[in-house]
Amino acid sequence: MKTTMDLTDWLSCSGCGMLVYRKRFDRLSMVCPDCGKHGQLTAEQRLERLLDAGSGTPVEPGPSVHDPLAFEDLVPYTDRLDAARSRTGMDCAVRVVRGTVRGRGVVLAVMDFRYLGGSMGAAEGEAIVTAAEEALKHRLPLVVVTASGGARMQEGAFSLLQMARTSNAMAALDEAGLLTITLVTDPTYGGVAASFSTLSDVILAEPAARMGFAGPRVIEQTIRQKLPEGFQTAEFLLDHGLLDGVVPRGELPQVLESLLALGSPPDPEWGPEVTDPVIREPELLSRRPVEQVVGLARDLGRPTALDHVAAWGSEFVELRGDRAGADCPAVVGGLAELEGLPVMLIGHQKGHTTQELVRRDFGMPSPAGYRKAVRLMRLAAKLRVPVVTLVDTPGAHPGLEAERHGQAHAIAECLRVMGSLDVPVVSVITGEGGSGGALALAVADRLLLCENAIFSVISPEGCAAILWRSGEAAPAAAAALGVDAGTLLSNGIVDGVVPEPAGGAHRDPAVASELVRDAVVCALRELREQDGAALREARRRRLRWFGTYRERVAV
């Protein structure tokens, strides 16, 4: 935001030009009340708005070489540094503070664009590394707020190397299982974008904040084309799977509070008093004709993954994107609280109306959906939180684009990573468990199936068309394939069946969600007592014997 009037009580918004009373603008954290444009904050202003009052302790980075090349262009570099210091009162473009955000301990590293455009020299690198080490020392999450034009040319290769230096400081936090969060503010470019900023577990951005490796002018000059509207903005990045969320400034403290709560070590004493609703004996199941079950499994009134988590009524922070170019709407995931226990919830997402179904690709994931799932599973393992998956898909998306982007590879990677996790994994097939696209999210310590859900190698229609050469044989195919709860439980394919309200889950979605929640809570209560290596070994042992004549190994 720039002042374009001499009247110092007023500011003109750089987004829409409206005049805003300075005090009001300040109260709104420099967000224009008219167009929503987020004006730049100084590091000081940012810290004031994020930290609990009086909680901040400054963390001083070690001394750095300030002008390693004795660089001089039109102006000696040291003069530029002096000017930046006197303008900002800062020693470098990053301020590091340890404090609390809504009562939760955190280390914050905040960049200030006024200091030589937030460019990264040795001192800035030192500040980021110091922040990471402080987080490590106190076992606290690290939050970085970025604003940078990129490298500091005046420091040559010393500047370049800060990318590797800061990236490796982030790696140490991964190894220690400490949550890292980035808030991208406008603009974040070059070496800062291509290092610590994008290595955080969770990447959030302010509305319209731009981030990229190459800046728009460089790209336009190189490709000799005009860039599309909104290119490299937060909204564009979210659509392309490169961010978890776009968060308006006013909502940030709440989102951070939720993330910090869900990313902190779970209570070892957790174990709510819940009655296990799961049926484990096939003879206790009420049977209905298989074709009826298939119809119920596909009923559009059944609760979806997002319905379930909403019905559980607890905290949920959705995390988005595969970090590689796409965000698949048919897979949702994020950190959720389950009866007080943080879990990583991942599920296929359908919808109740044609519009919702179209928006969610009918619950048929693209490779980006499976890659997002893998990313979230790895994050769960890092944070030591259990993985809970809700499976409901006709199958993985069959299509040109899906093939081009490696659908087979993406599903296979899910199967391998899920089997390798050293945290508890519970999967519930809540509707259609269609083929490899369903199994990709169902390699679990406990595989449960809702009473009217199905699990199948191929859709009954597909099977009928191929083997019976007639779609009309679908009911016969469904029966022959044994897609229903009774057959799956008898064959040991699923470990238990979650009852549904009379007539099916769509008749009383709230009760259906409670039953799913209780089933998962009871499974986790038991699994959490085992250590990670034992869980992984048992999960693999269970898979080892499927389809052999060996007796089933107790798990």
Which spans of this chain sit near Zn ion (rule: CB under 5 A)?
13, 15-16, 32, 34-35, 37
State the nearest-atom distance from the C-beta of 33 to Zn ion, in Å.
8
Nearest Cα residue to 439 out of 367, 391, 373: 391
Q: Determine phi and psi for 148, rounding to 5 degrees.
A: -160, 145
Q: Are strands 496-498 and 425-434 parallel, antiparallel or unpaired?
A: unpaired
Closer CB to Zn ion, residue 16 or residue 83? Answer: 16
Closer CB to Zn ion, residue 13 or residue 123? Answer: 13
Closer CB to Zn ion, residue 35 or residue 510? Answer: 35
Closer CB to Zn ion, residue 31 or residue 192? Answer: 31
Please provide the DSSP assignment of 498-538 as one string: E---TT-GGG-HHHHHHHHHHHHHHHHHHHTTS-HHHHHHH
State the nearest-atom distance from the C-beta of 211 to Zn ion, in Å.
21
Instruction: Please state, in angstroms and rounded to a whole number, the distance separating the CA atoms of residues 131 and 110.
Output: 10
Handedness of CA 259, 261, 267, 270 (dihedral sign): negative
Helices 407-420, 532-544: crossing angle, 10 deg rounding = 120
Closer CB to Zn ion, residue 13 or residue 425? Answer: 13
- Are 507 and 501 in contact, with CB atoms under 8 Å apart? yes
State the nearest-atom distance from the C-beta of 42 to Zn ion, in Å.
20
State the nearest-atom distance from the C-beta of 18 to Zn ion, in Å.
5
- Are 286 and 492 in contact, with CB atoms under 8 Å apart? no
State the nearest-atom distance from the C-beta of 152 to Zn ion, in Å.
32
Closer CB to Zn ion, residue 185 or residue 452? Answer: 185
Residue 375 one-letter amino acid: R
Q: Determine phi and psi for 477, rounding to 5 degrees.
A: -65, -45
Closer CB to Zn ion, residue 34 or residue 401? Answer: 34
- Are 12 and 3 in contact, with CB atoms under 8 Å apart? yes
Nearest Cα residue to 59 out of 110, 122, 116: 110
Closer CB to Zn ion, residue 38 or residue 323? Answer: 38
Handedness of CA 25, 101, 132, 134 (dihedral sign): positive
State the nearest-atom distance from the C-beta of 246 to Zn ion, in Å.
18
What is each CA distance from 80 to 40, 87, 110, 112, 410, in whole angstroms? 21, 10, 21, 15, 49
Closer CB to Zn ion, residue 4 or residue 221? Answer: 4
State the nearest-atom distance from the C-beta of 86 to Zn ion, in Å.
31
- Are 4 and 12 in contact, with CB atoms under 8 Å apart? yes
State the nearest-atom distance from the C-beta of 114 to Zn ion, in Å.
21
State the nearest-atom distance from the C-beta of 17 to Zn ion, in Å.
7
Nearest Cα residue to 105 out of 211, 32, 168, 178: 178
3-state secondary structure of 185: strand
